[in-house]
Amino acid sequence: MTRGALFFLLIFATNASLALLYPFSLSRVLLLVLIYALGTGVTLYLLFHPRSQWLVTNRSRVEGADCVALTFDDGPDPVDTPRLLDILAEKGVKATFFVIGKHAEQYPEIVRRAWEEGHLIANHTWSHRLLFCFLTPEHLRAEIKRGAESIRRSCGLQPRYFRSPVGLRHPLLDFYLKQAGLEYISWRIRTYDTLIKNSRVLASRILNKVVSGDIILLHDHLPSGAEVMLEALPGVIDELRARGFKFVLVGSREDVGRKTLEPSCSNGTYS
């Protein structure tokens, strides 16, 4: 809460600097531009940088030698997620799915299938609000809570991991995540599969950057379909395995009802 309060103070001070315009002079205008640009730049960094620790404690790596984690956002998708699950099953790879709550409500059988096949299901909010960082406290809490509830209804488990839309931050996010018992998971490699239209380019972006411990961000639901990602993924998996990488989940699988755990790479379970 203290950091959130300091963030609000930063915004207030940045805007209060407009008072420096009076009495008007060129030197005051230049000083104001400098102060306002600096304050705005820091604000945007705190809100948008995916690995900034200021507003919410987060993790962007997995432990264990030569381990990487594949994560998929925005699903489930009725067409592309089952195709993705088929690829992962064929390759013997486990991944982490950050599901949107209202999508999980529409396709609970896909969420259940992902869980039953050994994947990890995580909270990606209820509705993926693009202005997530400007939500009121009430709406922020509802996005987190309803996202978790949809996962419980879909496959009977309490999610333990969270990722916000596009990695956006919120001054109260850390507070509400701690209340909900959720850990924020970021990433090290943003593949830009939302923009790249060539599977070879997408594969190269991953393979040219990846190092041990990386969490890789991909999407199993896109407005125009995830065909490019699905085409690139088998080759990426094969190449990473050839380099000695092992695929792991971002954390433990934990089913509250059954109290079962799926160890991560760091304590001995690989795929």
Convert 7-28 to b/e letters by CB count within 10 Å (16 or more is b). beebeeebeebeebeeeeeeee
Give pLDDT, residue 24: 73
User: What is the pLDDT, as a whole number, of residue 46?
Assistant: 82
**Which pTM was predicted?**
0.86
Q: Give the residue numbers annotated as catalytic, written as ranges.
A: 73, 219
Position 193 scores a pLDDT of 97
Give the per-residue pLDDT at 20.
64
* DSSP track, 76-137: --TTHHHHHHHHHHHHT---EEEE-HHHHHH-HHHHHHHHHTT-EEEE--SS--TTGGG--H
pLDDT at residue 263, rounded to an integer? 39
CA distance 121 to 72: 10
How do the pLDDT tens digits run along the chain, 271 residues long? 677 677 778 777 777 777 766 777 787 778 778 887 888 888 888 888 888 898 999 999 999 999 999 999 999 999 999 999 999 999 999 999 999 999 999 999 999 999 999 999 999 999 999 889 999 999 999 999 999 999 999 989 999 999 999 999 999 999 999 999 999 999 999 999 999 999 999 999 999 999 999 999 999 999 999 999 999 999 999 999 999 999 999 999 875 434 333 434 443 344 5
